[in-house]
Structure formats: C-alpha cells, structure tokens
A and B are shown apart, each in its own frame.
Chain A
Amino acid sequence: MSIFTVSPSPHVHSGQSVPRLMYGVVIALLPALAVSVFYFGIGMIIITAVSVISCVLFEFLFQKYLLKNPSTHLDGSAALTGLLLAFCLPANLPWWMVAIGALVSIGIAKMTFGGLGNNIFNPALVGRVFLFISFPAAMTSYPKPGQWWEYMDATTGATPLGIMSESLANNMPVSEIMAGMPSNLDLFLGKMLGSAGEVAAFALLLGLVYLLWKKIISWHIPVSILLTVIIFTGALSLGNPEKYPSPLFHLLTGGLLLGAIFMATDYVTSPMTVKGMIIYGIGIGVITILIRTFGAYPEGVQFAILLMNGFTPLINKYVKPKRFGEVKHG
C-alpha cells in the first residue's frame, strides 16, 4: 500500500467554499443593515433577529427530523435567506408573522425541493409573497423612519411608490406628486418609507461594489436589470413626463436595488450562462416596470424575480454558453 494519496487531477483547489460565498453576501448586506437600523431602530433589530434565527433553526430541524440528511444549517445560506427575508418586510411586522415567513421560506421554498441548490424559487421572496397574500394589511403598512424605540406601535404611512401609484390613479400630474416626495438625496440616503432593508440606495450600491470586487457575483444580472429599467422608464417618461415618473425615481424607490443586487443574483435560482443572465435580467426589468406602471400593485420587483426564477430552468436548457471552436454554420 502506498503512503501517498493518489487522486485524479487537479491537485489544488481555489479554496472557495459555500460558507465563504454566503457569508460574503451577508457582509455585503451589512451596510444596508446598519442604515436600516439607523432609520427603523428596534423594529429592524427584532425582525432581523427573528428572521435569521428562525431560518437557521428551521433548516436545522427539517434536516435533522424530516429529511435526515447532513446538516447544512450553518453554511450561511439559511442565515442569508433570513437576512433577505427581513429586508423585504416592514420593520413593524409582528414577530410571529416574521417567523411564519421564515417557515415558508425554508420549509416550503427550500427544503421540499431538496435543500440548497435544488429550489426553483428564491426562498426569501417566496416567504415574503406568502406573507403578503396572508396578511395584506400588515404587509402594506410601513413605519416612518426615525422612530428608534417604536416597534409594532410605530406610526405608519405610505411608501413613495404607493403615493405615486395612488396619485397617478387620481390623475395628478407627476410634477405635482414629486413636489410632495422626499428629495432625491433623501431617497438616495434611504430616508423614506419602505421595506426594512430596501431603502438605503447608497448602502445597497456599496454592497454591489463589494460583491463584484470579491467576485461573488458577476455584473450581468444587476446591470441588465437596472439598464432595462432605465431605458424602459426613460422612454415612458420622455413620451409623457407628467404621466410616467423618471428613471431616477424608479431606481431609488421600492425594492429595485435590493432585488437587482441581492435577490435576482441568488445563485440557485438564476441562470448559468452570461447570455442567460442577461435575458433573465431584461425580463425582470421589463416585468417590474410593467407591474409598477400598469399593474394593480405599486411594486413589482419581487413578482418579476419570482416569475423569471420560474423561467430559469428553461433558459438553462436552451441558452448555451459560447463554445470554443464552435463551427459557424451559414
């Protein structure tokens, strides 16, 4: 018997691992988390803690007692799902609703498909949509920023996107609506109503820079979503600026940046090839704006991502990478 290990090549590894990638995304979310704690105080802390802890706990319990497969609850993916779920909920949502959301995210959206890598839909978004359908009132009342010590009793109001869609429905012109909105600087800094983690544009963009720098994601998905939104809303607003708000307004409000940077780029539920990622990104951009502009809800990015998640297996099947030395026909 040989004393040496004999295994096939390659004999070196990049050192990359699932936990490193997942916690990398968590690190990229920290600036946004800090800003959200600054605006929503104790509420943000509670829902984030409940969501992360429940996701990790449910993952552990499902694997141990139901699936009986090796436990991966500490690989960072459940914690990340928890963090993202909290980010797309109002910061005054009762903690038990948060826990139900986590149960749906992990139990239904992830584990019934066989755990990490096998799910079709983004678990955090499935949890959010479930809560949205089950508790529509609680899920559409957003706390005003700056109430540090208020949780469920915080004063609430409407989000910029909500105000926009309602006022447009009442035939108010965009210029008049915009007069009552927070300034672009406030929107950029995140001083507005919205889901807990989606408000701070600059912090989310900082996260994007980190993800790209660490090569955790590639630029294709976020850039194709954001470019599509800019072009689409730009065309609409050029056509009729009093009926359609500007691209900047669309970029800075709602869950677009959070979705484009952190939700749509979820490895498991997004396409595998560059071409596929761009098709997927364009699809998300278009559907988001269609819903925002012509749909029944003021915000559409979550539905858009889930819809394109559903198309991902098809995209992977038909959109192949550029092969080296492909013989060009015709």
Chain B
Amino acid sequence: MLKTFTLGGVHPEENKFSSHKKIEVLPVPPVVTIPLSQHIGAPAKVLVNKGDRVKIGQVIAESGGFVSANIHSSVSGTVLKVEAFPDSTGYRRMSVQIQSEGDEWVDGVDLSTDLKKDFDFSSEEIIQKIIASGLVGLGGATFPSHVKLSIPQGKKAEYLIVNAVECEPYLTADHSLMLEKGEEIMVGTRIMMKALKVEKAIFGIENNKPDAIELMSRLAEREKGITVVALKVKYPQGGEKQLVQALINREVPSGALPIDVGVVAFNVGSIYAAYQAVQKNKPLIERVVTVTGKSVKNPSNFLTRIGTPVQALIDAVGGLPEDTGKVVNGGPMMGKAISSLDVPVVKGSSGILVIPDTEANRHETENCIRCSKCVSACPMGLEPYLLMSLAEREYFGRMETEKVMDCMECGSCSYTCPSSRPLLDYIRLGKGNVTQIIRARKN
C-alpha cells in the first residue's frame, strides 16, 4: 500500500498535459516588472531609482526584516519606474520596472551548466548564501527559506523533507525539473541537509510521476541518507502538514510548524534554486512556470525570468484561446485568478492556467443538504458547512473554537460540495475576522 495522509482529501482531474514537455527557456522580455513583495513577510526595501543602470542578479531591493527576502534584477538594463503596479493578487504593489538591454550579469555568477557536485561550506555559510540569493518557497507559499533553515533555540531538525508532490492539477513545473535537473537537485538536497545539520532526507513524490520516482530513486541510491517515497495520489498532499504525516507519520500540532516535530520541508524547486545559489552564486532571478489549460494549443514548461508579464507566456504557447474565461496564477485549487495579462510572474508563480469560459463560473448555490461531503473532504478535520453558517451569522468567536484558523485554504470543501456552496469564501472571511480578534486580545 502506498502511503498517503489520513484525513480527508479529494481527487480532482489531474489534467497534467505538459508533464512530458522539456523545459524551454522563455526569451527575455523587453520589460520586466518586479514587485518588492513576492514573499510572506515584510516587503523588501528598494535600492534603485528611476534611470539607474542594473545588471542581471543585482540586488534591487534588500530584505526588509528577518522574515523577508532580497529581490534581484532579472534583466540588465535601465530602471524605468519605481511605483505601484497591479500584481497577481489584484492589488497594486510597489514594483521596479526595468527595460532590458543586453545581457550583463553581476560578477561572480557561474553561468556554465556544468554539474558542480562538491561543496565545502559550513551550515552558516550556506544560510548566508541562501539569504543573499533571495530564496523563498517556490511551491507557492513563498515563505523565506532562510527562516526555515534557522532552527529556533531548543528545537532540532531530524529530517529534511523534499516536497515533490505537485498535487495541484495541471501543474508540471516540479515534475519537469526533476526529470531534467535530477543531479542538481540531489546536490541541492545535500546542501540543505548540511545547512539543517540533518542526516536524513525524504523525497515525497506522487505516484502519477513514475518516471520522476524512478529517476530520483536511482540518483538517491548513491547518496547517504536520502530516500524517495512514492505516494498515493490525493489532493492536498503537498500541504506541509499532510506531507509530513504521509511520509513519517508525525502530526504537526494545531498552530505549530513542521520543525516542532523535527522536520523542515522544502519544495523541490526551492532545492534546485538552493543548488544554484550555493554552487553557482546565482540568485533567484528565474523559475520554471507551467503554462497550460484545456484549450491551450501547446501546454508547456518555461524557464521564465521573474517579472515577465503573463502575456509573454501566453504568447509562447500559441496565444490566448478564444474561449478563455479565466486566467489563474497557480493551480486550479489554490491559485489566484488574475484580471489582466500584464501582471508579472513572481517567485511563487508555479503555473499559469487558462480556464475556458464554460468552466470559469461557479454553479448556482443551493441549500446545504447536510451530506457531510465537505466534512469528509477536509484534510484538517474541520466542519466547513458549520464554519460557513457561523460566518454567515457573524459568530466569529464560535468559529475560533471550531478551529477555523487550522484551515489551510486548500479548497477541498468548496470543490466537493454538491450544492456548490462557497464554503471557502466564507471561511476566509471568518479567518480574517478571527485574526483580528486574536490580535486585539494580544494587545
């Protein structure tokens, strides 16, 4: 029996159209727009002004606190504007817009594609290099990586878990990266193990990627302490808590982090980026983005510079399909719908999903028939129907005791509801209010 997590979960159609497409390098766009806040935490502080010349890999905004990350220029050229532009959240965010001219890198970056296996850095040196590179969680959560690598006093990491689940339907960025950069990912894993001072690393890969499981297992055989585990396909297995439970059967307590059960988890894309940062001194200026959808002519995976407008990616797959109803930054379960193709690719953009108009709108909402399907689908053991009705009546205090803050916003409840109730919309509303209640209580 393949391992998986125990509570809840759903099985959306996988639709991984681009899973065997090679990663193509998307041409550098003429203009990039790089937001200063591409991560969870404080926005970075801008270091450049309009008219400045910048190089590829130059820090254009520095980390604004411990939980923050550096931002680098992904092109060489001239700063056109430093002002607020809409990003994929729909809000306007302070950004640096740069016109690309030439191909000039900062000094010290190793641009060769040679595999560099050996390293001799201490844990602290690795963390410093990661901080310098601006690495954040590339699975979509965008949590600054160095924060996870800095183990708090009194806690100890035992395992590094490499999250290669890619449980979101349609997305194949991590899959294609493993197939093409397996060796580099293994080096990256050893680097992260060293940084965390752990002896054991486990890859979690869902069983719908047999070629990746096979390849990574073969590569892992040569390494000490690295194992690869095939998992039964079930959404949201890529949720950190679900993955930790599936792999080592430890339950991260409510309100706690994986480190509280001795685990630090990184997305496989972040592991690859760590390799680039440590072995090649290359900051995070590009990432793999899947561009896909049912009507998309040629679903593909692109190595894309941060700040590239979504439009450029859409053009690269044969243009926007006629029947487009919605464009999502990310996967269909947790991604954000964007209102314009001008918004830029950011560090957390794992995919661009084009949804045809026949599927873009929700069904009409019906009465809750108390079928309990949302309860059995919830991976956190919550009662979404109840949380929604509490939110409707504004009983936010009761929502807190019903554990609304444990909700990981995976969307399994709304996905599964036969009455098409907007469960997660109301739960988010409740979470917002409960956050305020908790904050007020602390002050």
Q: How far is the CB of A305 from chain B (nearest CB, A)?
A: 16
For B14-42 the 0/1 string (1 means CB < 8 A from A) is 00000000000000000000000000000
**Binary B-proximity of A75-91 (CB < 8 A = 1, otherwise 0):** 10100000000000000
Q: Tell yes or no: A267 within 8 A of B by CB.
A: yes
Name A's B-contacting residues (CB within 8 A): 2, 4-14, 16-18, 20-21, 72, 75, 77, 115-118, 218, 267-274, 316, 320-327
Q: Which residues on the A side are within 8 Å of B326 (C-beta)?
A: 4-7, 11
The reply on B381 being an interface residue by CB < 8 A is: yes
Whose C-beta in chain A lies nearest to the C-beta of B242? A324
Is the Cβ of B424 less than 8 Å from the Cβ of A321?
A: no
Q: Chain B residues with Cβ under 8 A from A72's Cβ?
A: 366-367
Q: Indicate whether B328 reaches chain A with its CB closer than 8 angstroms.
A: yes
Interface size on B, residues (CB 8 A): 70
In the complex, whether B416 has a CB less than 8 A from a CB of chain A is yes
B248 on interface, CB distance cutoff 8 Å: no
A4 adjacent to B420 (CB under 8 Å): no
B309 within 8 A of A: no
User: Does B203 sit at the interface, judged by CB under 8 A?
Assistant: no
B254 interfacial by beta-carbon distance below 8 Å = yes
Known contacts A11-B360, A324-B251, A325-B241, then 4 further A-B pairs from the complex at CB < 8 Å, ordered by chain A residue: A9-B424, A21-B369, A272-B383, A324-B381
Q: Closest Cβ of chain A: how far from B374's Cβ, in Å? A: 9
In the complex formed, the residue of A with least CB distance to B413 is: A10
Which B residues touch A18, using CB under 8 A?
Answer: 366, 369, 418-419
Interface of B, secondary structure class, is: loop
Q: How far is the CA of A117 from the CA of B370 in the complex (A)?
A: 6
Q: Which residues of B contact A271 (CB under 8 A)?
A: 372
Known: A16-B418, A17-B420. A10 touches B411 (CB 8 A): yes
* B7 at interface, CB cutoff 8 A: yes
Q: Mark B306-328, 1 if CB is under 8 A from A, else 0.
A: 00000000000000000011111
Given A5-B361, A272-B372, A321-B383, CB of A10 within 8 Å of CB of B254: no
Question: Which residue of the partner chain, among B254, B370, B428, contacts A325 with CB atoms under 8 Å?
Answer: B254
B333 touches A10 (CB 8 A): yes
In Å, the complex CA distance between A4 and B324 comes to: 8
Which 4 pairs show the lowest CB-CB distances between chains A and B?
A10-B411, A2-B339, A117-B367, A323-B381
| Other-chain residue from B245, B338, B375 in contact with A273 (beta carbon distance below 8 A) | B375
- Interchain nearest-CB distance for A327 vs B (Å): 5
In the complex the two chains form, what is the Cα distance from A249 to B10 in whole Å?
A: 40
Residues of chain A within 8 A of B371, CB atoms compared: 21, 267
- Asked whether A11 lies within 8 Å of B252 as measured between CB atoms, the reply is no
